[in-house]
Amino acid sequence: MTILNENAPDAEITGRPGALWLRLGLVAAACVAAGFAPGLLPNLFYVHIANLTLLSGIFALSLWVIYSVGQLSLCHAAFAGLGAYMSALISMRLNLPPALSLVLATLMTAALAAALGAVILRLRGVYFVLVTFLFGQMFTLLALNWSSLTNGANGLIGIKAISLFGISFGPRPMFFYLAFAMFLAVLLFVWALNRSTFGRAFNAIEQNHNLAETCGIDTARYQVIAFAIGSGIAGLGGALMAHYIRFISPDTFTFHNSVAYITMLVVGGRSLFWGAVLGAAFLTPLPEFLRDFEGLQHIIYGAIMIVVLRIMPGGLISLPGRLMRIGGAK
């Protein structure tokens, strides 16, 4: 059973005829453009920013999956870090191919998240947020102090680059294609999940938890599933980052990163997973464009956030609807 919120800021956008075909057309256009992107960008620095943006898109989408059942995790960066450390250690210590370690780390992160979620997802609201915050801090302390495994504050150096069919995805332009393929796979997976029976149950729980339970939906089960899927995707993103940067430390995945992912979700628009993509695409490159404003980056960044949220409370995803209303009024 699906419980719909007709007052959601994006309700009229999703209900418009042709909206699905428009989005699919945009995805197809993006796929074509991606083939030329590394060669069109001015230099390798911009290719690096594009790579980080794609990884941020994966992180934001993974957090949206958890938010789709009405929960907000402050330990999301910890699960990204778990995926990164596990993939790096499997490839370095067990000498397995990085591509295989990537898959194993993703599955292991999802399994750990399911075990944790079965315990903490009985909590709601601020209690759940507080417990996830504490888990994130525990991960940082563990990564710092278990030096025999993680090398402590010095981090892991010399992580292997991913290679498939004899092609190395270590160089920035080559990694772009891998990151784009993984981002597109995650995007299509989340799209399919959102349209499935699971997605309808997630939507019902997010809109009214008590009513969903009354209607016979096993809310605890679906919340654990969403938490495991979202955290597993975050682990995938963390593993990709580890094999891309080829160095990770406890400072790579901190509470600050979790807040950044939440900000992407809010600024892009929480009601649709496309909002997470827009938030990542907008916020990841933004600090780089503000580098010339020495000493004022954070002030300008904060001011932009306030303006965006003030003008578009529903996030960037609500902008097409606003433009349509303005055009219709004229």
151-194, pLDDT tens digit by residue?
988 989 989 999 888 888 888 888 998 999 999 999 999 999 99
In a domain, 161, yes or no: yes
Greatest CA separation for the chain? 67
Residue 174: give the domain boundaries: 46-254
262-307, pLDDT tens digit by residue?
888 888 887 788 888 888 888 888 877 777 776 666 777 778 778 8
Handedness of CA 89, 77, 229, 233 (dihedral sign): negative
200-213, pLDDT tens digit by residue?
988 888 888 888 88
In a domain, 276, yes or no: no
Mean pLDDT along residues 221-237: 94
* Structural domains in the chain (count): 1
88-141, pLDDT tens digit by residue?
999 999 999 999 999 999 999 999 999 998 888 877 778 888 899 999 999 999
pLDDT at 294: 67
Reported pTM:
0.85
Contact assessment for residue 184 and residue 205, using Cβ atoms and an 8 Å cutoff = no
Contact assessment for residue 113 and residue 232, using Cβ atoms and an 8 Å cutoff = yes
Question: How sure is the predictor about 225, in pLDDT bands with cuts at 50, 70 and 90?
Answer: very high
Contact assessment for residue 159 and residue 242, using Cβ atoms and an 8 Å cutoff = yes
In a domain, 330, yes or no: no
In a domain, 269, yes or no: no
In a domain, 312, yes or no: no
What distance in Å separates the CA atoms of residue 214 and residue 283, rounded to the nearest whole number? 39
